[in-house]
């Protein structure tokens, strides 16, 4: 949920930067900071808590200068504190950096820099960046090149802005992967940089968006963009409309598209502040639970509807595997009508994006009446499902506007992964060493999501071949069976095409009768323990002239000899794989709906929150 704002021009930069940060407050943060270049020196102010505290610091001890950068931080590595807040400053005080994302290899870089005499002032992963930039600059590189070379050392997805007293004519902004956007705002003899467009819309509607692995050198009279491999980029300028809805959609045609592409960032926000990466411990402050209570738990019942219920089915695998607690998943709409058996050793976990779905709320009420502990995983802050629960996990996915849920699905899966780790740690089913491995896997996720999104063009091309079919079958097994259900739901919701999701092993017990050349079959067949079984389902579908599209693991050439088309995702431990495998299916549904001219964001007959039974 971090926010970045930068300014270079003729105005006093501090009010522009602070005003921009204010407009990003809705994203949530726990500390904030600003750096301004003033008479050749960098002035820095940082405070814990609300922006008012930072504004007060700046009012008491003003910063005057025409280049500045600011940041609102939501802690990932290290507690919210003044010294952990951004911007981070180099040892010589000449360089500052603000950053969104997670430096996956920060421990290794920290060690290396410490060995070279660097003294770290914070516990953050970000601080390594500023020390790398300082070292590279002292080796003779200008700020742009030093920032570029430093970025080449980082693993993970990032949005970064650097500023240096040694080169007071510029700011350097970089985007790698999808840990958040970087947008440049073009003014008259002034330029703006932000992580989100609302921060700078007051000043300009002429915007340039950096793509992954692009960086911009921004001066007061313009900018130049290059890739991290030093290839010049001629990026298009977007004129953003003045209506608030159009402005919120930014460069995207639909909210659903924006929300699919935001997932690298929304997942970074979901993970943020929940893990101590050094120890592997999960921190869920709004879900109070003692080790004794966790050990007493006999069962978890997940209640949810639609996409959230499918997320619950994925979570079942995670909680059972990591915390060794049996999990049942039920539709909110069914649950209370079957006189469920519950007691105080059961926890009922409601998953809901809106927090207002009446069927899910009723199931929560039923659980409360029967004496179970009630938990929720909710996106809409302050909603009923958050208030009704004994403990909750906030998804932190940010507002989801498109009726078809996308980023809330992946965030709620990650939240359940965190819950599973937390329960496993409290119950002693996971060692800290194992936890550390799992949290390291999790930290890789936003970057890998970005890699899947980088292949969106391939999915779009495929959509052009498929959009006229009228029936689809989606197959998956194990933890990717719910992804088949979700892929089918996405397609039917927004394109009005009939689609069914099925556990692949069940195909031969009925749906196989449907397969012919008019029925595309989507098969999630990554390299996991059921890979061979999935290949055999693909062969059976092919033998009946089905058109097979597989979601496969990068590098798997064999599957390309079996399926008609393969949508590849990077390799990841199977427990987290659904977060990647669902993305090509979200994209496919989206592009097919666009090809068919459907109203993607407001599909017929559907509402974003279903508050009637």
| Segment interacting with ligand AGP (CB under 6 A) among 99-107, 119-127, 153-161, 306-314 | 306-314
10 Å Cβ neighbour count for 192? 27
Asked if residues 304 and 351 have their Cβ atoms less than 8 Å apart, the reply is yes
Comparing CB distances to ligand AGP, the nearer of 440 and 609 is: 609
Q: Does 308 bind ligand AGP (CB under 6 A)?
A: yes
298 a catalytic residue? no
Comparing CB distances to ligand AGP, the nearer of 404 and 530 is: 404
Considering CB under 6 A, how many residues would be counted as binding ligand AGP?
16
Comparing CB distances to ligand AGP, the nearer of 14 and 404 is: 404
Q: Which of 2, 151, 346, 598 is catalytic?
A: 2
281 a catalytic residue? no
Q: Does 307 bind ligand AGP (CB under 6 A)?
A: yes
**Could you give the string, one character per residue 446-485, with x where binding to ligand AGP holds by CB under 6 A and - elsewhere?**
----------------------------------------
Q: Which of 155, 465, 533, 608 is catalytic?
A: 608
Q: Residue 234 phi/psi, 5° resolution? A: -105, 90
Comparing CB distances to ligand AGP, the nearer of 231 and 607 is: 607
- d(C-alpha 531, C-alpha 523), whole Å: 11
Footprint on residues 336-355 left by ligand AGP (CB under 6 A): 352-354
Of the candidates 407, 434, 452, which has an alpha carbon nearest to the alpha carbon of residue 575? 434
Q: Residue 43 phi/psi, 5° resolution? A: -100, 135
3-state secondary structure of 483: helix
Of the candidates 163, 170, 214, which has an alpha carbon nearest to the alpha carbon of residue 191? 170
Comparing CB distances to ligand AGP, the nearer of 354 and 439 is: 354
**Could you give the string, one character per residue 519-558, with x where binding to ligand AGP holds by CB under 6 A and - elsewhere?**
----------------------------------------
**Could you give the string, one character per residue 360-399, with x where binding to ligand AGP holds by CB under 6 A and - elsewhere?**
x---------------------------------------
Of the candidates 301, 287, 275, 328, which has an alpha carbon nearest to the alpha carbon of residue 446? 275
Q: Does 57 bind ligand AGP (CB under 6 A)?
A: no
Q: Does 305 bind ligand AGP (CB under 6 A)?
A: yes
- The 3-class SS string of 335-352 reads HHHHCCCCCCCEEEEEEE
**Could you give the string, one character per residue 485-524, with x where binding to ligand AGP holds by CB under 6 A and - elsewhere?**
--------x-------------------------------
Per-residue DSSP letters for 234-256? Answer: -PPPEE--SSHHHHHHTT-SSHH
3-state secondary structure of 396: coil
- Could you tell me the smallest distance in angstroms from the CB atom of residue 608 to ligand AGP? 7
Comparing CB distances to ligand AGP, the nearer of 375 and 531 is: 375
- d(C-alpha 408, C-alpha 293), whole Å: 28
Of the candidates 4, 7, 6, which has an alpha carbon nearest to the alpha carbon of residue 190? 7
Of the candidates 236, 181, 180, which has an alpha carbon nearest to the alpha carbon of residue 208? 236
Give start and end residues of each alpha helix (H) in 71-216.
106-115, 127-138, 143-152
Residues that bind ligand AGP (CB under 6 A): 305-308, 352-354, 357, 360, 403-405, 493, 606, 609-610
Give the residue numbers annotated as catalytic, written as ranges: 2, 608
């Amino acid at each position: 949920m971090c926010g970045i704002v930068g300014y270079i021009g003729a105005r006093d930069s501090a009010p522009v930067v602070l005003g921009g940060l204010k407009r990003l407050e809705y994203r949530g943060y726990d500390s904030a900071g600003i750096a301004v270049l003033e008479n050749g020196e960098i002035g820095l102010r940082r405070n814990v808590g609300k922006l008012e505290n930072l504004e007060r610091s700046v009012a008491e001890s003003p910063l005057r200068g025409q280049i500045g950068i600011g940041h609102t931080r939501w802690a990932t590595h290290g507690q919210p504190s003044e010294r952990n807040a951004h911007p981070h400053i180099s040892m010589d005080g000449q360089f500052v950096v603000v950053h969104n994302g997670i430096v996956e290899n920060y421990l290794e870089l920290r060690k290396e820099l410490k060995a070279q005499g660097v003294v770290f002032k914070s516990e953050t992963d970000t601080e390594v960046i500023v020390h790398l930039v300082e070292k590279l600059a002292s080796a003779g590189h200008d700020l742009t090149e030093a920032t570029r070379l430093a970025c080449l050392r980082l693993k993970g997805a990032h949005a970064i802005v650097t500023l240096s007293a040694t080169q007071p004519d510029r700011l350097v902004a970089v985007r790698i992967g999808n840990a958040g956007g970087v947008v440049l705002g073009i003014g008259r003899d002034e330029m703006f940089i932000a992580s989100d467009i609302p921060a700078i819309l007051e000043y300009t509607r002429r915007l340039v968006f950096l793509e992954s692995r692009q960086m911009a050198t921004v001066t007061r009279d313009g900018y130049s963009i290059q890739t991290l491999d030093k290839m010049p980029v001629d990026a298009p300028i977007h004129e953003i409309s003045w209506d608030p809805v159009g402005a919120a959609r930014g460069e995207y045609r639909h909210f659903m598209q924006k929300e699919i592409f935001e997932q690298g960032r929304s997942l970074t926000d979901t993970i943020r502040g929940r893990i101590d990466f050094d120890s592997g411990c999960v921190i869920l402050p709004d879900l109070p639970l003692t080790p004794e209570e966790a050990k007493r738990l006999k069962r978890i019942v997940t209640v949810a509807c639609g996409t959230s219920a499918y997320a619950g089915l994925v979570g079942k695998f995670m909680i059972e595997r990591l915390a060794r607690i049996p999990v049942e998943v039920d539709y909110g709409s069914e649950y209370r009508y079957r006189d469920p058996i519950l007691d105080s050793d059961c926890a009922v976990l409601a998953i809901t994006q809106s927090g207002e779905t009446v069927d899910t709320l009723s199931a929560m009420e039923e659980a409360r009446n029967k004496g179970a502990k009630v938990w929720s995983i909710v996106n809409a802050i302050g909603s009923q499902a958050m208030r009704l629960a004994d403990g909750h996990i906030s998804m932190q996915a940010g507002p989801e506007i498109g009726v078809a849920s996308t980023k809330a699905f992946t965030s709620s899966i990650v939240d359940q992964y965190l819950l599973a780790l937390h329960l496993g740690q409290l119950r002693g089913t996971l060692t800290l060493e194992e936890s550390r491995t799992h949290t390291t896997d999790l930290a890789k996720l936003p970057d890998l999501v970005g890699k899947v999104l980088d292949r969106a063009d391939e999915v779009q091309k495929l959509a052009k071949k498929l959009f006229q079919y009228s029936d689809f079958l989606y197959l998956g097994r194990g933890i990717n069976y719910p992804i088949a259900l979700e892929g089918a739901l996405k397609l039917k919701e927004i394109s009005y095409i009939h689609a069914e999701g099925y556990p692949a092993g069940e195909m031969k017990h009925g749906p196989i009768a449907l397969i012919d050349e008019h029925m595309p079959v989507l098969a999630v067949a990554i390299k996991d323990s059921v890979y061979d079984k999935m290949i055999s389902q693909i062969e059976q579908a092919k033998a009946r002239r089905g058109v097979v599209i597989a979601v496969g693991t990068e590098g798997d050439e064999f599957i390309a000899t079996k399926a008609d088309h393969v949508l590849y995702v990077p390799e990841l431990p199977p427990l987290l794989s659904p977060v990647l495998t669902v993305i090509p299916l979200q994209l496919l549904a989206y592009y097919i709906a666009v090809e068919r001219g459907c109203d993607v964001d407001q599909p017929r007959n559907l509402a974003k929150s279903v508050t009637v039974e």
